[in-house]
Amino acid sequence: MPLERILRPLLAAFFVIVLIWALLSLSKSFRAGRDAVQSEETETPAAPISTGEYTALTWNNGTTTLNFKKEGEQWLWADDTSFPLDDQIVTEIAAHLRDLHPQQTITDGQPSAHGLDRPTATLRAEREGGNPLLLSFGSTTTDGKSRYIMADDDPNRMYIIDDQLYQLLLTPIYDMAVLPVLPDLAESRLQSISISGLKLSHFTAQHTEGTDSVRWRLNGQELSGDALLQGLVRSLRRMTFARCIDYAPSEEAVALMGLASPSAVVRIEYTDDDAQTQECKLTIGDRLESGEGRYACLGDEEAVYLIETEWLEELMHIAVYGMEDAPAEAEETGEEST
């Protein structure tokens, strides 16, 4: 047998073995390099980022800066402690900081690689007898569920945490306002309704003792079974404030919202649970550009709220046209109700 025929398969086998060895070496080197990068940047931390109770919080969410302080068990908006704050959001943020454990810690990383050279938000938390904590928030992780943060501007203290804390910081201050609740304005409690707009309409209720029957008078004249009035009574009982729009607005803002020269002023006399006569006053301004409703104030409160259009249809009709029908052109555009 010729030597060439013997060597050819041996050489082929040798080259196959060399190729397999090279591929295995390359794969091992790649895994080692990848593990080295991962071990360089992430590892499970042994301790939380922060612990304890904080008594003052300040954060900037890229749009505004908000300051809060804790008095007793209640958080207050430090810029105006009279603001009717629902402190649920602030309490949740403080709870996150009370025991903030990172998902991962980053060592020898670069802040710029995680959006921390230009933070999207910052938070400063202070507590009595302890150093303040400063957190800077960077970009999200690839899955969008977590976010890179840096503590105390120290590039050796970079972490990955759940994104929930950052999302809480985006809550506008007016979304934290306690919304007032109108009194029980059931028809059986109503004594009178006065609506002042382009027209002035004063409704008085006559109650028959021992029954739910109510007879209404309009400006002293008998008014019975009117569908527009009954719609107004139903709307007043179900009316709610959708959200807070502004608090202690400037004179210019009051004018821009149409509250300096209101579209309607409503005064409602009713009896409370103790059979005492009370008054509820609503001041209705202009429509919001979105068309969802109108600016409104309750009594002498400094807050401005949104009342949605569905609760204002009969009220605004009466303010503009009284109990008369709206002109056909107004009905087509909806001007009488919105």
Together in a domain, 80 and 208 = no
Q: Are 49 and 103 in contact (CB under 8 A)?
A: no
- The band of 33, judged by pLDDT with boundaries at 50, 70 and 90, is very low
Query: What's the number of CA atoms in the CB half-sphere (13 Å) around residue 76?
Result: 11
Q: Quick one: tokens of 96?
A: 């996150």
Query: What's the number of CA atoms in the CB half-sphere (13 Å) around residue 214?
Result: 17
Gap between the Cα atoms of 79 and 102, Å rounded: 31
Q: Quick one: tokens of 153?
A: 């501007």
- Alpha helix ranges (H) inside 244-294: 251-256
Q: In the listed set 133, 151, 176, which residue is the last one of a domain according to the structure?
A: 176
Rg (CA), the chain: 34
Q: Are 301 and 244 in contact (CB under 8 A)?
A: no
pLDDT at residue 288 in the model: 96
- 274 domain residue, yes or no: yes
Mean pLDDT (whole number) for 315-326:
94
Strand, helix or coil for residue 3: helix
Gap between the Cα atoms of 154 and 169, Å rounded: 21
Q: Which domain holds residue 145?
A: 50-176
Together in a domain, 310 and 229 = yes
Indicate the pTM of the whole model. 0.77
Together in a domain, 210 and 249 = yes
pLDDT at residue 5 in the model: 54
Together in a domain, 168 and 138 = yes
Of the listed ranges 2-11, 36-45, 173-182, the least confidently predicted one is 36-45
Gap between the Cα atoms of 182 and 172, Å rounded: 24
- 58 domain residue, yes or no: yes
- 242 domain residue, yes or no: yes
Q: Quick one: tokens of 285?
A: 């301004």
Together in a domain, 88 and 215 = no
pLDDT in tens, 97-141: 988 999 999 887 899 999 999 999 999 999 887 889 999 999 999
Average pLDDT, the chain: 87
pLDDT at residue 305 in the model: 98
Gap between the Cα atoms of 190 and 212, Å rounded: 12
Gap between the Cα atoms of 6 and 4, Å rounded: 5
Please name which of 158, 143, 144 lies closest in space to residue 113, comparing C-alpha atoms: 158
pLDDT surpasses 70 at 46: no
Q: Are 337 and 313 in contact (CB under 8 A)?
A: yes
Together in a domain, 67 and 90 = yes
- 20 domain residue, yes or no: no
pLDDT at residue 1 in the model: 47
- Bridge partners (DSSP) of residue 297 are 283
Together in a domain, 145 and 235 = no
Q: For the chain, how many structural domains are there in total?
A: 2
pLDDT in tens, 253-301: 999 999 999 999 999 999 999 999 999 999 999 999 999 999 999 999 9
Residues 6+ apart with CB under 8 A from 215: 205, 206, 208, 222, 224
Gap between the Cα atoms of 38 and 46, Å rounded: 17
Q: In the listed set 155, 176, 197, which residue is the last one of a domain according to the structure?
A: 176
- 23 domain residue, yes or no: no
- 10 domain residue, yes or no: no
How many other CB atoms are found less than 10 A from the CB of residue 270? Answer: 23
Together in a domain, 197 and 327 = yes
pLDDT at residue 193 in the model: 97
Together in a domain, 193 and 327 = yes
Gap between the Cα atoms of 233 and 235, Å rounded: 6
For residue 312, the domain's CATH number is 2.60.40
Gap between the Cα atoms of 176 and 24, Å rounded: 60
